[in-house]
Structure 1
Amino acid sequence: MLSAASSTSQTLIEKNADQNAGDITPPREQAFLCRRFTPAVEDELGRRYALRLNTGDTILPPGEIARLAQGAGVLFVTATEAIGADVMRALRPALHTIATLSVGHDHIDLASARELGIRVLHTPDVLSDACAEIALMLLLNACRRGFEADRMVRGGQWAGWAPTQLLGKGLVDRRLGIFGMGRIGRAIATRARAFGLRIHYHNRSRLAPEHEAGATYHDSLESLLGSADMLMIAAPGAPQLKGVLDRRRLALLPQGAVVVNISRGDLVDDGALVEALQSGQVFAAGLDVFANEPRVDPRYRALDNVFLSPHIGSATHETRDAMGWLLIDGLAALRRGETPGNLLA
């Protein structure tokens, strides 16, 4: 049975469309929006498509998507929707394009999309700056004990300045190890250098000198971990990377390292990281992503040395508008018979 929120998701949006009775115009293609986008993007989608949307903005399970999106030629999703072969087959033959408001695409079965002739668009490039800003926010709060400081002031526990109060870690001349030196990783490195950090990185392949910008390359993750006073996880989500930061690898970090994750929650073994935070092997962590979101491992909430944020890496007005417009422009290019740069499959 549909929940109250889900039952409203069949609302047909006809924003800014001419509805004059005398007009003879071809019907607009149907599209389904699984999550709410920014108003400007939704308005434009409403002009271009007969748009149905999930007004409750709930995370729809695959079966609900398959039921509610019947007849849609375009399916708009985000990283919270799992789009597998069953959903795609249920929506064929009408469905021809899936457009995801994300850079990552591990929530979409690309092999099945190719097999069924369904094109997939994503949103690279435009969110690198916003994600890099959140990465530095997490790093600074982890190093300088931001959660404890905020709680002390809000809770009325602050008795005044003291010379040994909430001593944290400075950034100058520390080694920042970036796991995943793609566009976001490089944007992080640019900002981190301004704080006096020395950049080390591990990637699937070494960057060209102009992108490396003097950073030290490590040909294995293990080598990077041994040289990372602070570890920044910015690698793309992939099944083969699930749990890659396990107990053995976390133990390779220098004593008192700092860990930040803006990539995918399931790259980190939660139990291993919690143990490392409790033992002091890891001084602190800053986490914006979690396995099984939004069901965060409750052990993190009990730790003072973890700064938590709710997956807000790209959450600026400018960035979410740009992501939406990248999908709109990509869809327009496909209709013209062109191949947009954000086409995955």
Structure 2
Amino acid sequence: MRKLLITRRLPDPVIAAAEARFDVTLRDDTSPLSSDELATALRDYDLVLPTLGDRFDAEAFAAVPEPRCKLLANFGVGYNHIDVAAAQAAGVAVTNTPGAVTDATADIALTLMLMSARRAGEGERLVRSGEWQGWHPTQMLGLHLTGKVLGVVGMGRIGKAIARRAHHGFDMEVVFFNRSQVAEPGVPARQLDNLAEVMAAADVVVIAVPANPATHHLIGAEALAAMKPTGHLVNIARGDIVDEAALIAALAEGRIAGAGLDVYEFEPKVPEALRRLDNVVLLPHLGTAALEVRTSMGMMAVDNLIAFDDGRELSNPV
């Protein structure tokens, strides 16, 4: 029976499914693996089920040049915490969990769009403070989403799911930027030639691209400068796609109206300057935080582990 390390506690059905097939060690700690734990994972286990923050980077593989581990079955669709090239060079396959996260992540995008546009976070803080003086006609006026323009940066599974919700639910016009041509966006939508055009055209911009070296700080000062002063930015992808310092400056100076963030550049650290701003909604990476979704993600990761154990083709290689 192969030895499997699960680096963070997962829903009970996932643990049970893994234990039915493998010799499981469950690390009951919510923090990412330390450098020593990364080395132990690669050296002492046949298989590892890691997740966000477990940094299997080139340095980790250099520390264990001939790893016993042969598969990192990542829990999550994003895998920017794993150096896939270094893993493959060391003979370690990598899988992820696409599909299972699509709808839940799109739902959080719509949550943030509404909360930012309608100033819901700011309003809730006002009520909790005890300082609300009652309704009046010009109180906390926000952006009415219906009929506005949504800009999607990255028209993959999640981008398309967000576009469907916005178009059918709020009658929004959809424009998008994608590095390759998208023949079937799923809703009436226009693919614009470059990022700046999307940033300028949209009332709300949602970031839905994967994190990789090409998308690091894709949304920086130049991209933010192209936005309308009434525009809102939403990020449900990965934190380092947005230059956080440039975003803070744009929000603080009123060059954009607001932002909604579920991810952060140096997560879980959130700059005090960002936390002080009223025109930003801050969520603690809730994109897939529903029990059935996290269970589906875990079962998909276990399916990848079982496929490897059976010598079959991996279901979700990256």
Q: TM-score range by the shorter chain?
A: over 0.9
Please report how far the alpha carbon of residue 165 of structure 1 lies from its aligned counterpart in structure 2 after TM superposition: 1.0
CA RMSD of aligned residues (A): 1.5
Q: Which runs of 4+ in 1 moved over 4 A?
A: none
Match of 2:182 in 1: 207
Please report how far the alpha carbon of residue 91 of structure 1 lies from its aligned counterpart in structure 2 after TM superposition: 7.6
Q: Alignment partner for residue 21 of structure 2, among 48, 71, 75? A: 48
Q: Helix, strand or coil: the match of 2:198? A: helix
TM-score, normalization by structure 1: 0.88
1:82 matched to 2:55: yes
Q: Deviations over 1:280-339 (max 9, x none)?
A: 221010000001110112111110111000111011111111111111112222233321
Which residues of 2 match residues 149-160 of structure 1 at below 5 A? 149-160=123-134
Q: Alignment partner for residue 164 of structure 1, among 110, 131, 138? A: 138
- Aligned residue pair count: 316
Q: Helix, strand or coil: the match of 1:140? A: helix
Q: Helix, strand or coil: the match of 2:159? A: helix
- 8 Å CA contact retained: 1:31, 1:69: no
- 8 Å CA contact retained: 2:67, 2:90: no
- 8 Å CA contact retained: 1:62, 1:81: no
- 8 Å CA contact retained: 2:41, 2:48: no
Q: Helix, strand or coil: the match of 1:320? A: helix
Over 3 Å counting, the alpha-carbon distance change for 1:110 and 1:199 in structure 2 is same
- 8 Å CA contact retained: 1:63, 1:87: no
Q: Deviations over 1:232-278 (max 9, x none)?
A: 01111011211121112211112221010001111111121111112
Q: Deviations over 1:6-53 (max 9, x none)?
A: xxxxxxxxxxxxxxxxxxxxxx21111111111111122122221112
- 8 Å CA contact retained: 1:245, 1:267: yes
- 8 Å CA contact retained: 2:14, 2:299: yes
Cα distance in structure 2, aligned partners of 1:302 and 1:79: 26
Please report how far the alpha carbon of residue 85 of structure 1 lies from its aligned counterpart in structure 2 after TM superposition: 3.4
Q: Using the TM superposition, name which of 92-101 and 181-190 deviates more.
A: 92-101
Instruction: Indicate the structure (1 or 2) with the bigger Cα radius of gyration.
Output: 1
Cα distance in structure 2, aligned partners of 1:67 and 1:115: 19
Which consecutive unaligned segments of at least 5 residues does structure 2 have?
none
Q: Alignment partner for residue 77 of structure 2, among 103, 120, 129? A: 103
Q: Helix, strand or coil: the match of 1:239? A: coil
- 8 Å CA contact retained: 2:163, 2:187: no
- 8 Å CA contact retained: 2:104, 2:288: yes
Match of 1:239 in 2: 213
Cα distance in structure 1, aligned partners of 2:152 and 2:145: 15
Match of 2:38 in 1: 65
Cα distance in structure 1, aligned partners of 2:67 and 2:217: 37
Match of 2:298 in 1: 324
Cα distance in structure 1, aligned partners of 2:124 and 2:165: 24
Cα distance in structure 2, aligned partners of 1:279 and 1:85: 39
Cα distance in structure 2, aligned partners of 1:86 and 1:266: 20
Which residues of 2 match residues 192-231 of structure 1 at below 5 A? 192-193=166-167, 194-209=169-184, 211-231=185-205
